[in-house]
Amino acid sequence: MTPTRDDIAALFELPLLDLLWQAQQAHRAHHAPNEVQLSTLLSIKTGGCPEDCGYCSQSVHAKTGLKAEKLMDADAVLAAAAEAKAAGSGRFCMGAAWREPKDRDMDALCEMVAGVKALGLETCMTLGMLTRSQADRLAEAGLDYYNHNLDTSPEHYGAIITTRTYAERLDTLEHVRASGMAVCCGGIVGMGESREDRVGFLHALATLPEHPESVPINALVPIRGTVLGDMLADTPLARIDEIEFVRTVAVARILMPRAMVRLSAGRESMSESTQALCFLAGANSIFTGDKLLTTGNAGGDADAALFAKLGLSAMVSDQPARMRVAG
Stretch that binds ligand SF4, among 52-60, 132-140, 170-178, 270-278 (CB under 6 A): 52-60
Binder of residue 148, out of ligand SAM, ligand SF4, ligand DTB, none (CB less than 5 to 8 A by kind): ligand SAM
Instruction: Classify 285 as helix, strand or coil.
Output: strand
Q: Which of 91, 124, 137, 278 is catalytic?
A: 124
Contact track, ligand DTB, 224-263, x by CB under 6 A: ----------------------------------------
Among 294, 307, 312, 322, binds ligand DTB (CB under 6 A): 294
110 belongs to the catalytic site: no
Closer of 143 and 265 to ligand DTB (Cβ): 265
Stretch that binds ligand SF4, among 32-40, 47-55, 100-108, 211-219 (CB under 6 A): 47-55
Q: Which of 169, 177, 184, 247 is catalytic?
A: 184
137 belongs to the catalytic site: no
Q: With contact defined as beta carbons under 8 Å apart, do 74 and 117 qualify?
A: no
Q: Which of 53, 164, 177, 322 is catalytic?
A: 53
Stretch that binds ligand SF4, among 50-58, 131-139, 176-184, 280-288 (CB under 6 A): 50-58
What distances in angstroms separate CA 289 from CA 38, 42, 71, 83, one per listed residue? 9, 10, 21, 10
Is residue 185 a contact residue for ligand SAM (CB under 6 A)? no
- Per CB under 6 A, contacts with ligand SAM among 16-75 are 49, 55-56
Among 57, 152, 275, 288, binds ligand DTB (CB under 6 A): 57
CB atoms within 10 A of CB 268: 15
Round to whole Å and give the CA distance between 33 and 279: 9
119 Cβ contact partners less than 8 Å away, ≥ 6 residues apart: 78, 81, 82, 85, 92
Q: Which of 91, 247, 262, 322 is catalytic?
A: 262
- Three-state secondary structure readout of 137-154: HHHHHCCCEEECCCECCH
Round to whole Å and give the CA distance between 71 and 167: 28
Closer of 98 and 279 to ligand SF4 (Cβ): 98
Is residue 297 a contact residue for ligand SAM (CB under 6 A)? no
185 belongs to the catalytic site: no
Is residue 295 a contact residue for ligand DTB (CB under 6 A)? yes
Round to whole Å and give the CA distance between 244 and 24: 17
What distances in angstroms separate CA 150 from CA 4, 166, 204, 320, 326, one per listed residue? 18, 7, 8, 24, 19
Q: Please, what's the b/e burial string for 157-167 (b: 16 or more CB within 10 A of its CB; e: otherwise)?
A: beebbeebebe
Is residue 128 a contact residue for ligand SF4 (CB under 6 A)? yes
Is residue 51 a contact residue for ligand SF4 (CB under 6 A)? yes
Round to whole Å and give the CA distance between 319 and 305: 26
Binder of residue 59, out of ligand SF4, ligand DTB, ligand SAM, none (CB less than 5 to 8 A by kind): ligand SF4
Question: Among all residues, which ones are annotated catalytic?
Answer: 49, 53, 56, 93, 124, 184, 262
